[in-house]
Chain A
């Protein structure tokens, strides 16, 4: 089963995302911000990255940009968690190389549906 990197600075969101994905049988590694995520992504291969946008140290958009620059992550699906008010962020995310987005608030089913969309 696929391994997913879940990045969020909010512990509750991280737990929720991770719990949901694990429940569906995915292997999940959590990261607390972009810097943490980048380090983890360099030492382990992931099939998909789900990241929050607003985070300290390194935000989700810079993370996606940095990951895309790595040879191993050229084609990896990367989803950003965004809010309905973050329309301009979506564009920035896309420009950075994001595959798509999940709009907050979402429930576990929506999350799984979206993940399934990119991982099959």
Chain B
């Protein structure tokens, strides 16, 4: 039977990469002092699966390599070997190496043999270093087997087979062994009924029979052993070869001694190592045009089947609603109006639910990003000689796949900063009365329609005086400017600003916080810093859950409708004349409690001639906030709140200042989605 093994490759790769991630995080979690057996088991299991799979699918270089890792892990698991940091480091390196090997195979490229043999060498030396209990493998006496097999004179076998009472309970049925034997030659079976007890004492689940089997044919002892391989401990088995010697087999070469020896050899040979034939797997060549290669490049997503089930359910509902509606529409009379309305509202509900479930499919747990950080923390702390504990909180919080992907780089930068600049060296921490080990917490949670991600450390915190001095030195601010705490921290985000006294190879790799902020803003989010000198800093990122759909408030300006992201609206109010201030050359402001808000007249900014209200006291003021700046939008009216599907203006038209995208409304008209920070910039020009 020929089966194209290539069809399983893609799944094998996916699960192997998952296994490698599991191994990596397991290795990082290993506590040298008190080794958790579960943890090692998980790591071992992953290695074991990769080995089994790669062997089966014909990637022998991978299975050979994993075999060495597995041996090391097995000894750790059995307690025959102590878990040491050097051993863990070697294993971590091997995980990387294995990942590269698999990536190379997946991409159809070459495996870097140099790197593989280097890693293998360090694994081997780790294995030999602390020579664990002697792992003498029981090598079956091959010679005995061979000598028996080489004799062509065997014409058959006499086999005495007495199963132990319990043998049937291992699922081994004597009949199937007889059937197999009979396929090798001419078989005569004689049952020995002597062991069968009286009917009253008979336990029908036990095997009381024994058999004498005569097999005629040119059969090797290995073939017979293979058949009885599974039951060797569950029966008494004696095999005796029936020998006929060829005519030219001289009498002088033969005496009884040889025969006895041969028979004894055949009996003692015991079960061979099984007919495993591992080289067969090797022969399965990868076909050149396998599907995995076609699939490569396109990004795939693993979805919880329950999500798919929900989706299928919703589609089913939709189909039912649709057929109901078409029935109503076929011979429509006014009396069916209620039915039609019902159907339509059902359609609306199902569509909304369907939309939600579809969006849900793209949601991935943020652990996809978080999972790389334990390794990062491990590497950086060992490089810098710091003691750091990394805590991950809320890893299961789900975010849209695109957000997850785009979030990863900025987060790496932030975590690296915390590890490098935030957490102090152990002696400094002790001197400051803090625990020697610094803690960096990475937390994700949902708030409203947003996801919040916080990077929090208990390090030295930001020094406001230093920040200020540095900003002045770099000419970023004037010496006499007074800044609030928040504005001081914001300095970090200015291009060309670096707080590190010296650049290390860990941070300062050319990407500044300004880039991080730009990336976060490009995702429609914002970033904030809270810091206490000597106590630590927290950087929080707020992001929309998905980039495709937005909760919006529609506002009317004349005949035009605009969408304001709901998250940026603070309140909406009527304008009272006595709260208005007009400053010549600086525009108009509105006094909201004790804050003066600049007013942006929407109809002026967007040149809407049809605006109903031009007198401020007649319209509405929508107070919005974007990137820490508040202002009031002067509009004609508020329409309603709704979820809108974002269409990119840049992709379909071009970038427009103050507008982040567009959407299509129910009546088919296009509404622009406002970009509040951009609008503020626009108004200031």
Contacts and interface: CB of A to CB of B under 8 A. Distances in A.
Q: How large is the interface on A (under 10, 10 to 19, 20 to 34, 35 or more residues)?
A: 35 or more
Contacts of A23: 1, 3
Contacts of B169: 68, 74-75, 97
Interface string B1-37: 1010101110110110000000000000000000000
B253 interface: no
A85 B229 contact: no
A24 B170 contact: no
Contacts of B112: none
A9 to B, nearest CB: 7
B11 A12 contact: yes
B628 interface: no
Given A15-B8, A100-B230, A112-B1, A54 B48 contact: yes
B170 A97 contact: yes
Nearest to A108: B3
Nearest to B5: A16
**Dominant SS among interface residues on chain A:** mixed
A118 B229 CA distance: 13
Given A77-B171, A99-B171, A103-B276, A20 B1 contact: yes
Contact of B56 (A106, A112, A118): A106
Interface in B41-58: 42, 44-45, 48-49, 51-53, 55-57
B138 interface: yes
A100 B3 contact: no
Contacts of A77: 171-173
Contact of A118 (B9, B14, B176, B273): B176
A65 to B, nearest CB: 12
B233 interface: yes
A26 interface: no
A68 B171 CA distance: 9
A52 to B, nearest CB: 8
A36 to B, nearest CB: 13
A41 interface: no
B589 interface: no
Interface string A15-34: 11001100110000000000
Contacts of A117: 176, 180
A43 to B, nearest CB: 19
Given A10-B53, A11-B15, A101 B278 contact: no
Nearest to B274: A103
Contacts of B14: 11
B273 to A, nearest CB: 8
A105 B56 contact: yes
B1 A78 contact: no
B168 A15 contact: no
A104 B55 contact: yes
A105 B278 contact: yes
A23 to B, nearest CB: 7
A102 to B, nearest CB: 9
Interface in B68-82: 70-71, 74
Contacts of B274: 101, 103
Given A15-B11, A24-B1, A54-B44, A105 B281 contact: yes
Interface string A61-83: 00000001000001111100101
Interface of A: 9-13, 15-16, 19-20, 23-24, 52, 54-56, 68, 74-78, 81, 83-85, 87, 94, 97-101, 103-110, 112, 117-118, 120
Given A12-B9, A118-B176, 19 more contacts: A9-B49, A11-B11, A11-B14, A12-B8, A13-B49, A13-B52, A16-B3, A54-B45, A75-B171, A77-B171, A84-B276, A87-B138, A94-B234, A99-B172, A105-B55, A106-B276, A106-B281, A107-B281, A110-B275
Interface of B: 1, 3, 5, 7-9, 11-12, 14-15, 42, 44-45, 48-49, 51-53, 55-57, 63, 67, 70-71, 74, 137-138, 168-173, 176, 179-180, 205, 229-230, 233-234, 273-278, 280-281, 284
Question: 10 closest Cβ contacts across the A-B interface?
Answer: A105-B55, A99-B171, A100-B230, A12-B12, A105-B281, A103-B276, A77-B171, A105-B56, A12-B11, A104-B52
